[in-house]
Amino acid sequence: MAIISLYGIGALLPEVEEEAERVLREKFRLEPRFEGLLPPDATLSRGSQLLADIQLQEVLALKPADALFAGGITPYDLYSGDLNFVFGIALPFKGFVVSYARLLSEDRELFLSRVRKEVTHEMGHVFGLPHCPNPKCVMHFSNSLIDTDLKGEDFCPSCQRKLEEAMAKLGLT
C-alpha cells in the first residue's frame, strides 16, 4: 500500500487526525503515516490567517522519499491568493493542506463530517480531479460552510470514474 505522510501544522484534535487517516485508507487505498507536528509558518500571514500555499510548501519539502504524497492538517485559518479564506488547497499528484478552523461545530458528527468532506475534496484534487458542477458531489466548490454542509461525503459517478482512472495509473487499485 502506498504511503501518504501526514503532518499536523500546530496541535491537532486527535479525532481530526483519526478521521483524516480513515478517509485516506478507505477512499484512496493509502497508508497514512503521521510524521509529527510542525510549527505554522507565519510568512505572509494576515492577522491570524496563514497563507495556505506556504504551509503546503513546508509539508511537501518534508515528504520522505518513500511517501507517494504528503498532507497537512491545521487548526489555523488559511487564505490563498485573492480568496479571503480557504478550507484547503492541493497540488495535483503532490499533496494537500486542510484547515478545520472554519469547520468547527458543537455537533461533533457534523464537525467530523465536514473534516471528512474537506480531506476527501482536497485528495480529489491531489488525484487531478477538478471542481464538479454537481452540488451533491464532494468535489463541488465550497464557497461557504453552507456549501460544505449541503454536499455529500462521496464522489458523484463521473468524479468516481475519474478518481479510479487516476488511481489505476498510479497502481492503487
Catalytic residues: 122
In angstroms, the CA 30 to CA 136 distance is 25
Nearest 10 degrees: Cα torsion 102, 141, 20, 173: 180
Residue 55 CB-density burial (10 A; 0-12 exposed, 13-18 middle, 19+ buried): buried
**Which of 69, 55, 71, 64 minimizes the C-alpha distance to 19?**
71
Residue 102 CB-density burial (10 A; 0-12 exposed, 13-18 middle, 19+ buried): middle
Ramachandran angles phi, psi of 68, nearest 5°: -75, -40
126 is written with which cell numbers?
A: 491531489
